Every structure is written in structure tokens, then in C-alpha cells.
Amino acid sequence: MSLDDDAGLLWREQAVPALQPLPADELAAQSRQLRHKLGRRNRRETLAGGLVAVVFLAYAWIFPHWLTKLGALLNVAGVGLMLWQLRRRASVQPLPEALGASLLQFHRAELARQRDALSSVWRWYVAPIVPGLVLFLCGRQIENGHWQAWPFVITALVLAGVVWINRRAARQLQREIDALDQLTKEAP
């Protein structure tokens, strides 16, 4: 047996401390903290979306080519759809009045709802703005009189980064859900 095998065996056979159920007040505090965090995120996204919409409306006014104007207006519509979906899929839900088991169920359901929203962000957050971005970038290429790939590559990388970050956050929420599930299985 090698040193790596010995270390792996020791790690697998170590005693795992039993998980303790969360007191209702601690669970309520975690739920309030989650709601606060989500509210901040949603306000930040709404503010950023509004700013993006204003900028693209200005672009639609300033840039001369019809394709650029159409792309800019599609971006405004895409941002509107994205913000509507954010509100629909990831808005903050009110806490239940009763504490205890119903709060645990609520907290778990809210984590699952946020996880699902984050893991599907490519569909409802990124996809609505892609057509407008592509048309806008094509229009700008035509206006400039030459074709370059780098604006498309940078845009694709940024959008892929947005999807990756959100999927990573969804995996973190899944770990929290799994921990809650483990607590409920081991609770008396």
C-alpha cells in the first residue's frame, strides 16, 4: 500500500461528527440573511439593467446604421425580458409566519428556487440579449467598414463567464440544500 492509499484510507475512515439540527431562530436568521442578499442582488441587477437600457436607447438614437439601431432596440427589449424573468424566477419571497418545520421547508424551497434560477440563467438571462448584441455588433462592423472578430469573441467570453459564475453559485446552493436535507434525515 502506498502513502497515498494510506492517507486516503485514513481520510475515509475518520469519524464524522453528527450534524445538529438548526435552532428555529438560527434558521430564521439564515432565511432573513438570504432574503437580504437576494434583495440586494435583485436591486443591483435592476439598476444595471436600467442603465444598460438607457445606454442602448442612446445607441439607437446616435448610431446611423439601421442594423445597429435594431440591435440596440432588441437589447433594450432583451433587458426588459431578462428583468421580468429575474423578478418572476428569483424574487424574494416573504417568510412564513410560523417557525420550525415550516420555516425549514420554506428555506429549503427558497434555496432550491434560487438554485434553479441560477442554473438556468443561460436560458432566461443571457439568451434574451444575444440576438440584439449580435445585430448591434454586426451593425457596428458595417458602420466601421471592416470586419473584426474580437468584439464577438469578447462578448461570447463575457456571456460564458456570466453563465459559469451562476452555475457555480447554483452548485453552492445545492450543497446548502444537501446539508439541510442531511440535517432533516438525522433529526429525531
Residues 26-82: tens digit of each pLDDT: 777 777 888 888 889 999 999 999 999 999 999 999 999 999 999 999 999 999 999
Q: Which of 3, 133, 9 is nearest to 76 (CA)?
A: 133
Cell numbers representing residue 78 in the block: 432583451
Which residues touch 99 (CB under 8 Å, ≥6 apart)? 24, 25, 27, 28
Confidence of residue 155 (pLDDT cuts 50, 70, 90): very high
> Distances from the Cα of 155 to the Cαs of 93, 129, 187, in angstroms?
33, 11, 48
Q: What is the 3-state secondary structure (H, E, C) of 79-105?
A: HHHHHHHHHHHHCCCCCCCCCCHHHHH
Which residues touch 157 (CB under 8 Å, ≥6 apart)? none
The confidence score (pLDDT) of residue 186 equals 67
Which residues touch 179 (CB under 8 Å, ≥6 apart)? 19
Measured CA to CA, the distance from residue 90 to residue 103 in angstroms comes to 18
